[in-house]
Amino acid sequence: MGKITQALKKAAEDRLARIDKKPQHSYVVKIDPQITKDLNIDEHVVAFSDPRSPVAEQYKTLRTNLLSLSSTARPIKTIAITSSINSEGKTITALNLAITMAHDLNNKSILFVDADLRKSRIHKILGIDKVDSGLSEYLQDSLLLNNVLIKTGIENLTLLPAGKGPKNPAELLSSYRMRDLLKILKNNFDYIIIDAPPVLPVTDPSVIGAQVDGVLMVIQAGRTQRNIVQHAKQLLDQARVKVLGYVMTSVEYHLPQYLYRYM
């Protein structure tokens, strides 16, 4: 082996050794307390608390992909977010997506509908202490729509909370009044994001999914088994629900230093 070859080999080995010694950053969401002080929004809503983070960028990618599916012939304006089972991150995903869409420079009006009438918690995540009425009361024909819509404090984002838990949520969500409501909302908002219950425990998401333009399925990495997701998808297919795609949560990844610095 010549001296030049040996020198090049040693230089390459030294370069690789330096790269290996560089720290690899596991991204942790950093919350600026001052940003969330006034609105008291849950720190997991990174689209609001840390909009320039790599995690928030993933929601922007999701927004882009969703908008690319829409066309003049088949516009996508109403999107329901669900999951196979409980605690997969569907609610946080739905809210992050809604805020990301509200932050679009095109100033689109976004409505977030809490349609999880059994275990509603959106208003708590948004820091709203008390909600006297919402979707449940409206569907029971006791209130006007203007009386149940809430301004969130986030520009371009309006909330329709779930309201008090009814005895018959599936029946209310499948009612003619719900169908008429969606028609009214589509004429007054650019996009409607609906947080629906998980598929396997209740029939509500199939009922909601049949009335919207499409559904996103949230899957928690390392927890939700493939057969569970497949069963949930079968139930949605039986209800003729259009599944737009899948969002995986709780994904752990490491960013190389050069990419971390760019972010």
* Residue 253 pLDDT grade (very low, low, confident, very high; cuts 50, 70, 90): low
Domains identified in the chain, total number: 1
Q: What is the CATH number of the domain that holds 148?
A: 3.40.50.300
Per the structure block, which two tokens stand in for 189?
Answer: 């908002």
196 contacts 81 by C-beta, under 8 angstroms: yes
Query: Could you tell me which residues come within 8 angstroms of residue 7 by beta carbon, excluding any fewer than 6 positions away?
Result: none
pTM: 0.79
CA distance 41 to 100: 15
* Cβ-count burial 48-66 (b if 16+ within 10 Å, e if not): bbbbebbbbebbbebbeeb
pLDDT digits (tens, 9 = 90+) for 84-128: 998 888 999 999 999 999 998 788 999 999 999 998 888 888 888
3-state secondary structure of 215: strand
Q: Identity (one letter) of the amino acid at 63?
A: R
pLDDT of residue 51: 87
**CA quadruple 39, 43, 45, 48: dihedral sign:** positive
Please name the helix (run of DSSP H) or strand (run of DSSP E) that holds residue 110, with its range, or none.
strand 110-114
Q: Which domain holds residue 60?
A: 3-262
Out of 1-5, 123-127, 132-136, 210-214, the most confident range is 210-214
pLDDT of residue 252: 60
CA distance 243 to 90: 15
Q: In the block, which residue shows the tokens 């409980």?
A: 86
Query: Is 80 exceeded by the pLDDT of residue 158?
Result: yes
pLDDT of residue 248: 86
